[in-house]
Amino acid sequence: MEVSNLILVRHGQSEWNKLDRFTGWVDVGLSEKGIEEAKSAGEKIKDTGILFDNIFTSILKRSVQTFDQINKIFNIPANFKKDWRLNERHYGALQGLNKQKMRDIHGDEQVLIWRRSYFTAPPKLDKKDVRHPRFDKLYKNIRLNELPDSECLADTVKRFLPYWHKK
């Protein structure tokens, strides 16, 4: 029986993680700490001795930068694939807002529900809002009905699972 390995790496700390802001699909880069975290992940992965056939990331800058830092540690001769369906969940109208301010306004319990509930999505982003992905060049070739206004975790799974099974 053939053995396969799957290594999942979360992106390093982003500039907005550092500022305690809801990020979602906003394309922000890594902080200096995030770059160091990615390098550390690279060292750990290198130490496993595992060889790779494929590398997958979302199209978001912080994910690609994380892979780039890992790849600087050891050059991975593998197929590199980026896809928007691997983006993290879309935080809707919360994107860009400070998490603590949202806790102060809506309470800790409600913010925790928005962040961790499998079936409860954050408030939707209006399709006319300039923060909506339809206005972002990263998604110019994606049909509007495929772009979320907000996502709960179940929505995120529904988005990425078909891609996962296909690839």
Task: Please pick, among 36, 43, 88, 109, the residue that the annotation labels catalytic.
Answer: 88
Sign of CA pseudo-dihedral 145, 147, 150, 151: positive
Label residues 70-105 b or e (16+ Cβ within 10 Å = b): bbebeebeeeeeeebbbbbbbbbbbbeeebeebeee
The secondary structure of residue 21, as a DSSP letter, is B
Task: Please pick, among 2, 11, 36, 132, the residue that the annotation labels catalytic.
Answer: 11
| 165 is annotated as an active-site residue | no
Distance between CA 108 and CA 97 in Å, rounded?
15
| 88 is annotated as an active-site residue | yes
CB atoms within 10 A of CB 51: 9
Tokens of 151: 């996502």
Catalytic residue positions, numbered = 11, 88
